Amino acid sequence: MNIYEELQERGLIAQVTDEKEIRELINNGGARFYIGFDPTADSLHVGHFMALCLMKRLQLAGNKPVVLLGGGTGFIGDPSGRTDMRSMMSAETIQHNCQCFLKQISRFIEFGDNKAIAVNNADWLLNLNYVELLRDVGACFSVNNMLRAECYKQRMERGLSFFEFNYMIMQSYDFLYLHNHYGCNMQFGGDDQWSNMLAGTDLIRKKTGDNAYAMTITLLMNNEGKKMGKTAKGAVWLDPEKTSPYEFYQYWRNIDDLDVMKCIRMLTFIPLEKIKKMDKWDDTRINEKKEILAYSLTELVHGKEEADKAKLAAYALFNGSGDDSNMPTTQLKAEEVPEDGISIMEALVICGLAKSRSEARRLIEQGGVSINGEKVQEYETIIERDSILNGVKLKKGKKVFHKLVAI
């Protein structure tokens, strides 16, 4: 099976501009493609996972990836899928985030001669002359067409700044620049980027007469139509300092039964032949499927050693062995712990098991919180200072464990 057909069977392709040409290019290893990453944080998250896996699949099939770091577009912020304007970041923050992104992306694709390259659009966007850009590029854009774009339509009621309105032009100029300087003939991205990507292919045709192509990948949604990759603590990050390998493993281990096979098909590199066999497994093997998914993705992001640790920690906790060496842990300084201890509600918030004291109280009242294996009956329960110094195991629901300790 060729790579395009595999992407189709895995359910990864959402929209394409020219299916025949794109199929031929990527099946024959002729795509010099790019995917852009705007540095909105100091770590990639699960929302980037589809794009990273796509780059890896296409590189393995002989195509050449160009990683575009948005050191320039990051100054504006993509309005796609947003209900409000993104917070502006300093140049130092943007540069730091770009460096963090590149380090994480390097786990997925191989850089080097005749392999993948990484470029930063700050190198060309920040030096543009505004009047020259308006004359050279702005004249190629119809405001009427831009306003019909899905990425802008959803913002019109609440207000769209002129600042953000320029984002489509910047992204399109990126494609033109990469086409002219690096031979890029294709752009990939999330399905919410479709309007911006079409604008880029159109700009290339108008300015050079060349054909360029775009393909969007399916957004990672759960069976309820909501984006995956969120927990009570927020986003599921790829940085182990922000989301530990154990927490990452547990996120996938605990997804809804109805989402398991879809995630295995779309995110893992398990051969399709094996996946088809797994489709026929009966419902009693659902936990086995979840363990395969969780281990595969943790190994992909954090490596085999961390995946093994996460798997062993999960097994130990759920089978009562008491080994908490790989359990997610929040460490406090001993002087930060009051003599009269810490309330269970505060502890849940400190450990990220609840967003607020009111949420913590609801969890306790619903009987969903334990301390060292004993269910908490009162939301006013205090965890004694000595217990915290020795380390206490908190449990939320049936599957979320966390250790709180002071050193």
Domain ranges of the chain: 3-217, 230-318, 329-406
Check residues 150 and 133 and name the one with the higher pLDDT. 133
Residue 321 has pLDDT above 70, yes or no: no
Q: What is the pLDDT of residue 233?
A: 62
Check residues 192 and 24 and name the one with the higher pLDDT. 24
Q: What is the pLDDT of residue 186?
A: 96
Q: Which of 46-55, 170-179, 222-231, 374-383 has the weakest average pLDDT? A: 222-231
The per-residue pLDDT for range 68-88, each reduced to its tens digit, is 999 988 887 655 544 445 567
Top-level class of domain 329-406: alpha beta
Q: What is the pLDDT of residue 83?
A: 47
Q: What is the pLDDT of residue 231?
A: 63
Check residues 268 and 333 and name the one with the higher pLDDT. 268
The per-residue pLDDT for range 142-200, each reduced to its tens digit, is 888 877 776 666 666 666 777 777 888 899 999 999 999 999 999 999 888 898 899 99
**Across the chain, what does the average pLDDT equal?**
88
Summarize the confidence of residues 347-369 as an average pLDDT: 89
Summarize the confidence of residues 114-128 as an average pLDDT: 93
Residue 379 has pLDDT above 90, yes or no: no
Summarize the confidence of residues 215-239 as an average pLDDT: 82
Asked, colleague to colleague, whether 3-217 and 329-406 share their fold, the answer is no
**Architecture of domain 3-217 in CATH?**
3-Layer(aba) Sandwich (3.40)
| 246 vs 216: CA distance, rounded Å | 31
The domain covering 230-318 belongs, at the CATH homologous superfamily level, to Tyrosyl-Transfer RNA Synthetase (1.10.240.10)
Q: What is the pLDDT of residue 316?
A: 74
Check residues 33 and 368 and name the one with the higher pLDDT. 33
Largest CA-CA distance found in the chain, in angstroms, rounded: 74
